[in-house]
Amino acid sequence: MTKTVGASIDTGTFTKKKSQWVEVWGRFKKNKGAMIGLFVLVILIGIALTEGLWIPEEKVSTIVVADRLQHPSRAHWFGTDEMGRDIFWRTLYATRFSLTIGFVAVVVSAVIGIPIGAVAGYVGGKVESIVMRLTDIFSAIPTILMAIAIVSLLGRTTFNLMLAVGISSVPLFIRVTRASVLTVKNEEYIEAVKALGKSDLYIVFRHVLPNCLSPIIVQVTLRIASAIISSSSLSFLGLGIKPPTPEWGALLTAGKEYIMGYSYMCLYPGLAIMITVLAFNLVGDGLRDSLDPKLKH
């Protein structure tokens, strides 16, 4: 990582060298789309973290039969469901659950994929080709089918859903990490650390990986977006979260039964998914451009 150098020299002609992250932030700030995405994400994460404090519990789960299937109105902004629960509050409340699923799924794939990819790229030779062939095999099965197979094998629980979505995108992390490690491992500074007699494990995790972070960070952001879509798709197929759990996919699934005549029940949870995914995608694209300005169009 670039350290601040020259800070103590006060000759005026020298300016303090900016840290890499300050530069990245400077470029990121100029990207309007990415800033909008970031703004939305901050709000969403804020809602997810604090929702227990201000969302009235009774609005989310109390069944009011008299209010069932009300179209959107001033009293119920997004309308009510078949049990008379307010969809606006339920959609808002589902933020925490849905975001958590996306985050955990990506953590799963990153924790498995990054070390494997790093070792494959760094060690090279037979290990690398075996790992990469296995990755090819694994990714011959479309991700959603892979996730379906894993969920039906492990059982339909929330945890297994996150695991399934996570595992099915492991190959992606292996590929990205390996490709990135390959470009870094022949750099002179790695050779220098090697000459100091450090162990390979130390070199990989202390020197190689930190310099491979840019593409991985971008991938993490973009994968959270697709993990949210995949997990809600599985819920929709009846393999993930089941109604009445307040999760966007499950809300949509519940609304599916009433789609003819009460389409608002599906409209709003879907919009919530779309806005969230869009925000992650905007931030991911923005990060890619600002972390690697050479690629920018």
Partner 1 sequence: MHKYILRRVLLLIPIILGVSLLVFVMTDSAEGNVLQLIGDDYTPQQMAELMHEYGYDRSVLYRYGNYMKGLVRGNLGKSFIYKRPVLELYLQRLPATLKLAGASILVAIVLSIPLGIKAARSHGTLIDNGSMVLALLGLSMPNYWLGLMLAVLFSQKLHWFPSGGNLAGWKSLVLPAITLGTGLMATMTRTTRSSMLDVIRQDYLRTARAKGVPEKVVIRKHGLRNALIPIITIIGTELGKALGGAVVTENVFSYPGVGRLIIEAVNQRDTITVTGCLIMTAVLVAVIQLFVDILYAVVDPRLRAQYTTGRRKRGKKQQITTQGAVV
- Which stretches of the chain bind partner 1, using CB under 8 A? 33, 133-134, 136-138, 140-145, 148-150, 152-153, 225, 229, 232-233, 236-239, 249, 252, 256, 259-260, 263, 266-267, 270, 273-274, 277-278, 281-282, 285, 297
CB closer to partner 1, 71 vs 256: 256
Judged by DSSP in three states, 285 sits in helix
Helix residue ranges per DSSP H, the chain? 20-30, 32-54, 57-61, 87-123, 125-140, 143-154, 158-168, 170-184, 188-195, 200-202, 213-236, 248-256, 264-291
Smallest distance, Å, CB 107 to partner 1?
A: 21
Helix-helix angle 32-54:87-123, to 10 degrees: 120
Contacts of 207 (CB under 8 A, 6+ apart): 189, 190, 193
Smallest distance, Å, CB 151 to partner 1?
A: 8
Smallest distance, Å, CB 128 to partner 1?
A: 16
Token pair belonging to 150: 């894993």
Smallest distance, Å, CB 195 to partner 1?
A: 30
CB closer to partner 1, 114 vs 251: 251
CB closer to partner 1, 209 vs 219: 219
Judged by DSSP in three states, 253 sits in helix
CB closer to partner 1, 165 vs 252: 252
Are 21 and 264 in contact, with CB atoms under 8 Å apart? no
Smallest distance, Å, CB 297 to partner 1?
A: 5
